C-alpha cells in the first residue's frame, strides 16, 4: 500500500542553504534544488542569477504528510530566513534570492498565512514580514552540481554559509 506524498516549495535565499535543514528527516522523501515563479521555460542558473527570468531559487520537498505534516515543514522553514528582507537573503542579493512560500493547495496556503501572521504578531521582528505566499508555479530542477551541494562540496558549503551571516542571524533572531 503506497502512502500519499505531497509537495512543498520554499524560497529562502540560496538554495544550497535550504536543503540541509530538511534533509534526512523521516517523512521527507526527497529535496530538489531548483527554480520557480518566473516566466522562462527551463531556465538555467545563469538565466536566474541574471535576474531576467523572474525565478526564485527554491527547494521542492516531497513529503509524507502522515509522517511529517506541512505545519512541521513551516516550523523548519521560517527559522532559516530573514522574513523582513525583500532584497535577497544575507550575502545573496537580488530577486532570485527573495523569500516565498509557494503553496500547492488551500490547506498549505491557510497554514502559511497563519504562521506568517503569528510571526508578524510575535514582536520578534521590528520590520514588516515580507515573505510572499504565492500559488505554486512550474518547478524546474537546478543543474546537477547544485543538488545536495552541502554533501558534495562540504568545505565550500561551510565557508559560503559562514561568510553569508545566515547562522549568526538564525542564532540571534530565532533561537
H or E element at residue 28: strand 28-36
pLDDT of res. 91 = 94
The CATH number for 48's domain is 3.30.1060.10
Containing structural domain, residue 48: 6-169
Cα–Cα distances in Å, from 117 out to 8, 12, 66, 112? 19, 18, 25, 9
Reduced to 3 states, what is the DSSP secondary structure of residue 139? strand
pLDDT of residue 151: 95
- The span from the CA of 107 to the CA of 142, in Å, is 27
Please, are residues 60 and 165 in contact by the beta-carbon 8 Å criterion?
no
Residue 13 in any domain: the answer is yes
Q: In this structure, how many other beta carbons lie within 10 angstroms of the beta carbon of residue 132?
A: 15
Asked, for residue 83, whether it belongs to a domain, the answer is yes
Tally of domains in the chain? 1
Does a structural domain hold residue 174? no
- Has residue 33 been placed in a domain? yes
The answer to whether residue 1 sits within a structural domain is: no
Q: What is the pLDDT of residue 2?
A: 58
Q: Specify whether 14 is catalytic.
A: yes
Beta bridge partners of 79: none
User: CA 97, CA 101: separation in Å to the nearest integer?
Assistant: 13
Flag whether 98 is in a domain: yes
pLDDT per position in the chain (175 positions), as tens? 457 999 999 999 999 999 999 999 999 999 999 999 999 999 999 999 999 999 999 999 999 999 999 999 999 999 999 999 999 999 999 999 999 999 999 999 999 999 999 999 999 999 999 999 999 999 999 999 999 999 999 999 999 999 999 999 999 999 7
Q: Give domain status of residue 59, yes or no.
A: yes
Active-site choice (9, 11, 12, 14): 14
Q: How many other β-carbons are positioned within 10 Å of the β-carbon of residue 29?
A: 15
- How many C-beta atoms lie closer than 10 Å to residue 59's C-beta? 26
Asked whether residue 37 is domain-assigned, the answer is: yes
Amino acid at each position: 500500500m503506497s502512502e500519499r506524498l505531497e509537495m512543498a516549495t520554499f524560497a529562502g535565499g540560496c538554495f544550497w542553504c535550504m536543503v540541509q535543514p530538511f534533509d534526512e528527516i523521516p517523512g521527507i522523501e526527497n529535496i530538489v534544488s531548483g527554480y520557480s515563479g518566473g516566466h522562462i521555460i527551463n531556465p538555467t542558473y545563469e538565466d536566474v542569477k541574471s535576474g531576467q527570468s523572474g525565478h526564485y531559487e527554491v527547494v521542492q520537498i516531497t513529503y509524507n504528510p502522515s509522517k511529517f505534516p506541512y505545519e512541521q515543514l513551516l516550523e523548519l522553514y521560517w527559522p532559516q530566513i530573514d522574513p523582513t528582507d525583500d532584497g535577497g537573503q544575507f550575502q545573496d542579493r537580488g530577486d532570485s534570492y527573495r523569500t516565498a512560500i509557494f503553496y500547492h493547495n488551500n490547506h498549505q496556503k491557510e497554514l502559511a498565512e497563519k504562521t506568517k501572521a503569528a510571526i508578524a504578531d510575535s514582536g520578534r521582528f521590528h520590520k514588516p514580514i515580507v515573505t510572499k505566499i504565492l500559488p505554486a508555479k512550474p518547478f524546474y530542477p537546478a543543474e546537477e552540481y547544485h543538488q545536495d551541494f552541502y554533501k558534495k562540496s562540504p568545505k565550500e558549503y561551510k565557508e559560503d554559509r559562514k561568510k553569508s551571516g545566515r547562522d549568526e542571524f538564525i542564532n540571534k533572531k530565532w533561537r
